[in-house]
């Protein structure tokens, strides 16, 4: 069903009914990204809506091929320009050094998204992540880094310094360095526990 929707959107974009890439879907749900860490490797999975993929492909000419025996999704998968675009706009740096990224095969992008694995010079603890895909098409686009904590990437703040706490299984929790809100919540919970204990003792 998702592939049918993508195909229909590609047709609409080609005939001009879906608007320009800059007006495709910037005010809908944001794209999302998830990060996992294992040693010096960082894997990022980016998900976008159907019409956002169409806007991306249209902007780099992925659908210019007039072949009718190839679906819109297949044109996205095979486009070198799409791969270059994603690698250029989603980057990871560690201590000032770039972590080379390798884009996995784009298979069923609507369900599985785009996966990039970055190899950093040392074990990943604190890195600078840039998530700027689609933001060159319209500044209203944004990406949410999801996990136990969330970080919002926008056109005015496409790159953020993040601390990643790894686990023995290789999974990570994303912790923005600016964690003032989280500290307040923790302190508030601690105060609530102390207050309840005092009430029990006085009772």
Model confidence pLDDT, tens digit, residues 109-142 = 999 999 999 999 999 999 999 999 999 999 999 9
Q: Is the pLDDT of residue 1 over 90?
A: no
In the chain, count H helices and then E strands: 6, 11
Which domain covers residue 99, as residue numbers?
2-202
The total number of structural domains in the chain stands at 1
Single out the residue of 80, 97, 101, 106 nearest to residue 89, CA to CA: 101
Report for 19-28, 70-79, 187-196: range of highest mean pLDDT: 70-79
pLDDT band for position 200 (50/70/90)?
low
Model confidence pLDDT, tens digit, residues 34-68 = 999 999 999 999 999 999 999 999 999 999 988 88
Task: Pick 34 or 147 by higher pLDDT.
Answer: 34
Q: Is the pLDDT of residue 91 over 60?
A: yes
- Answer yes or no: are the C-beta atoms of 129 and 98 closer than 8 Å: no
């Amino acid at each position: 069903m998702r592939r049918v929707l993508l195909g229909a959107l590609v047709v609409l974009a080609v005939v001009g009914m879906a608007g320009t890439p800059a007006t495709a879907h910037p005010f809908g749900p944001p794209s999302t990204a998830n990060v996992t860490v294992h040693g010096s490797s960082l894997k990022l999975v980016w998900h976008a809506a159907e019409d956002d993929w169409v806007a991306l492909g249209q902007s780099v000419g992925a659908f210019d091929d007039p072949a009718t025996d190839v679906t819109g999704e297949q044109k996205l998968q095979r486009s070198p320009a799409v791969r270059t675009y994603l690698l250029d706009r989603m980057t990871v740096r560690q201590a000032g050094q770039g972590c080379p990224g390798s884009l996995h095969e784009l298979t069923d992008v609507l369900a599985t998204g785009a996966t990039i694995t970055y190899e950093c010079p040392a074990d990943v603890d604190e890195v600078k992540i840039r998530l700027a895909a689609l933001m060159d098409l319209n500044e209203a686009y944004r990406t949410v880094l999801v996990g136990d904590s969330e970080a919002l990437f926008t056109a005015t703040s496409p790159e953020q310094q993040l601390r990643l706490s790894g686990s023995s299984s290789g999974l990570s929790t994303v912790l923005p360095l600016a964690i003032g809100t989280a500290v307040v919540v923790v302190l508030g919970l601690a105060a609530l526990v102390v207050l309840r204990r005092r009430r029990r003792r006085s009772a």
